[in-house]
């Protein structure tokens, strides 16, 4: 008779109708990998590894993996690595967001199906961290996140370079004719020179900070540069923490709560973080039935200052943030506004964590709450007849002179239309107009890419125009900047009001009032509505994952998750 166990290889047995035979067969096959009988009896920490040759952010994962394994062994567990889908941001077509949900499903099902007592999530590049957290909270097995860490900066001439805010800055100069092809080619080779995620407070770094604030990763680990020795020490500590959770389980559902999600929103606003984080945080929380209200976002934003002076909002880089005090320093400044009773994967509460010695803080990078960079949060939600379910503006990265504006719309009906006409010298556009992009939302053929950062028309950029109001149902990179309204919901492709805008219409934007309105008579809008036909290829004419995506993807205000991934009964 095989000994009755519920840990390690005895978990989740393959069903042959004979439990003892299942364990016997599993042990036999596991033995073929060289494990001793003693090792086969140990509890298992799975390691979800999103390494890929198509993911430059993760190229140091083989070394990091060994450090995680070392930590698991120190904690008395057996580390077992398993691969999942990896999402390299710039290597996916049409856009990485389309495959975030697929990766989350892969992660969830492999955690659930394979025998492990806890899991370490190794991610980093933009969509990998939210995908892993979505999968982990759905599987609800004890889990700890370890992120890739940011790149180090490079140099060009007398200035520092970091992907990818500086990518966009130099590309803007190139489009304006300020620098040559030879110079842009040189810059191209110097923007991203180490392993790790973007060197600024883009989506990857924002999500790393969100994971730490939620309590799903170890304190102080979000901002460690990818190539720093502390990154390996953090990986070892993460493996050890996962092993310790086997005897004292802390499940994601105990960590990701309505209160910890609200803490994460506050930190996102104080960071001047990526607009993408709202979509991801909504999706993560949604897996547990926790709503994220854009109206509540505005309430929190009104009382949460911007504290972090990093690109694209400020002047510094993630390596500076790390040395300045990191997420811990931001949390301490926000302490009076936080829910301190929230549990973390260490078994401590957030309040317990903030009792420890904070260490020095560089006020050039992380401002105090008494003297913030901005008095209000970095993001604001807008509502009105053009965005009944909301839209997002990153006001900390925008031109305040454009916050209150009524102007003529110049409409592009698709990304293809934008590419064909944006640099046409005969394009009817001035710097006082509002550019509108349609059919770039989650249900569109484009799949909601980071295309909301519409380029300034070449004839205007050549005259020195740096910013214009731009509106779309698309996203933008967390590394981008400008007065850009995003995530308009419902989107144009499903007949949302954005689909009804025509060139020449008047649009009114008011950041002060939090409104976005199309100034067209309702009778005319009804006429346009009646004539609307969706450009989306019907789901019935698609196959495979593309069909599942078309049938199930939700709107931006619901996190662009799949409807079937919500909790049963939610």
**Single pTM value for the model:** 0.96
At 2 the pLDDT is 41
2/62: higher pLDDT: 62
Does position 39 have pLDDT exceeding 90, yes or no? yes
**Helix (H) or strand (E) segment spanning residue 418:** helix 415-421
Write down the architecture of domain 380-536 according to CATH. 3-Layer(bba) Sandwich (3.50)
User: What is the average pLDDT across 21-33?
Assistant: 94
**Structure token digits, residue 329:** 């320093």
CA distance 553 to 442: 7
User: What is the average pLDDT across 501-524?
Assistant: 98
The whole-chain average pLDDT of the chain stands at 96
Q: How confident is the model at residue 357 (pLDDT cuts 50, 70, 90)?
A: confident
Which of 521, 152, 215, 499 shows the shortest CA–CA distance to 347? Answer: 215
Domain range list for the chain: 42-152+194-353, 154-188, 380-536
Which of 566, 568, 562 shows the shortest CA–CA distance to 99? Answer: 562
User: What is the average pLDDT across 214-236?
Assistant: 98
Residue 160's DSSP bridge partners are: 155
User: What is the average pLDDT across 3-9?
Assistant: 71
**Structure token digits, residue 121:** 């999530």
Does position 9 have pLDDT exceeding 80, yes or no? yes
For residue range 426-442, list pLDDT tens digits in order.
999 999 999 999 999 99
Q: H helices within 126-257, ranges in order?
A: 128-139, 165-175, 181-188, 203-214, 229-247, 252-255
CB 478 within 8 A of CB 276: yes
Range name among 138-147, 150-159, 398-407, 448-457 with the lowest pLDDT average: 150-159
The residue written with tokens 């053009």 in the block is 386
At 350 the pLDDT is 98
CA distance 55 to 68: 20
Q: How confident is the model at residue 4 (pLDDT cuts 50, 70, 90)?
A: very low
DSSP-derived pairing of the beta strands 434-437 and 404-412: parallel
CA distance 223 to 414: 37
CA distance 385 to 500: 11
């Amino acid at each position: 008779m095989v000994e009755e166990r519920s840990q390690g290889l005895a978990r989740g047995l393959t069903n042959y109708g004979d439990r003892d035979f299942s364990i016997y067969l599993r042990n036999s096959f596991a033995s073929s990998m060289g494990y001793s009988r003693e090792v086969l009896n140990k509890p298992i920490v799975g390691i979800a590894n999103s390494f890929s040759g198509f993911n430059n952010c993760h190229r140091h994962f083989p070394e990091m993996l060994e450090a995680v394994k070392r930590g698991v062994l120190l904690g008395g567990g057996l580390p077992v690595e398993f691969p999942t889908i990896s999402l390299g941001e710039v290597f996916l077509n049409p856009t990485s967001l389309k495959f975030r949900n697929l990766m989350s499903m892969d992660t969830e099902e492999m955690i659930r199906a394979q025998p492990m007592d806890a899991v370490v999530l190794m991610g980093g590049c933009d969509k990998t961290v939210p995908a892993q957290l979505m999968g982990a909270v759905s599987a609800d097995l004890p889990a700890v996140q370890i992120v890739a860490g940011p790149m180090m900066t490079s140099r060009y001439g007398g200035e520092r370079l970091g992907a990818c805010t500086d990518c966009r800055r130099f590309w803007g100069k190139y489009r304006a004719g300020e620098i040559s092809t030879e110079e842009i080619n040189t810059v191209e080779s110097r923007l991203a020179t180490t392993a790790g995620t973007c060197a600024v407070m883009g989506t990857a770094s924002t999500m790393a900070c969100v994971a730490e604030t939620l309590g799903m990763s170890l304190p102080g680990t979000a901002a460690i540069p990818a190539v720093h020795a502390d990154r390996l020490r953090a990986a070892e500590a993460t493996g050890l923490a996962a092993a310790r959770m086997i005897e004292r389980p802390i499940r994601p559902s105990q960590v990701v709560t309505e209160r910890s999600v609200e803490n994460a929103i506050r930190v996102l606003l104080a960071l001047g973080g990526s607009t993408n984080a709202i979509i991801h945080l909504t999706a993560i929380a949604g897996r547990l039935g926790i709503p994220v209200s854009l109206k509540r976002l505005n309430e929190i934003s009104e009382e949460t200052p911007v504290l972090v002076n990093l690109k694209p909002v400020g002047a510094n880089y993630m390596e500076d943030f790390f040395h300045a005090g990191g997420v811990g320093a931001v949390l301490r400044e926000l302490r009076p506004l936080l829910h301190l009773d929230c549990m973390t994967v260490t078994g401590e509460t957030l309040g317990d964590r903030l009792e420890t010695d904070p260490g020095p803080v560089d006020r050039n990078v992380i401002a105090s709450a008494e003297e913030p960079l901005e008095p209000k949060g970095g993001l604001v939600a807008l509502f009105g007849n053009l965005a009944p379910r909301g839209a997002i503006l990153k006001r900390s990265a925008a031109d305040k002179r454009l916050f209150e504006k009524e102007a003529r719309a110049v409409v592009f009906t698709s990304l293809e239309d934008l590419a064909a006409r944006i640099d046409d010298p005969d394009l009817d556009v001035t710097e006082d107009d509002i550019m509108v992009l349609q059919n770039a939302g989650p249900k569109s053929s484009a799949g909601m890419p980071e295309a909301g950062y519409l380029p300034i028309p070449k004839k205007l950029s050549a005259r020195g125009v740096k910013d214009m109001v731009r509106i779309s149902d698309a996203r933008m990179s967390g590394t981008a900047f400008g007065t850009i309204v995003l995530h308009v919901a419902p989107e144009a492709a499903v007949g949302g009001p954005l689909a009804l805008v025509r060139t020449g219409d008047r649009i009114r934007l008011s950041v002060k009032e939090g409104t976005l309105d199309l100034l067209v008579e309702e009778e005319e809008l009804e006429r346009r509505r009646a004539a609307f036909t969706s450009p989306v290829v019907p789901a019935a004419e698609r196959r495979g994952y593309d069909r599942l995506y078309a049938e199930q993807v939700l709107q931006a205000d619901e996190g662009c998750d799949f409807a079937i991934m919500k909790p049963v009964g939610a």
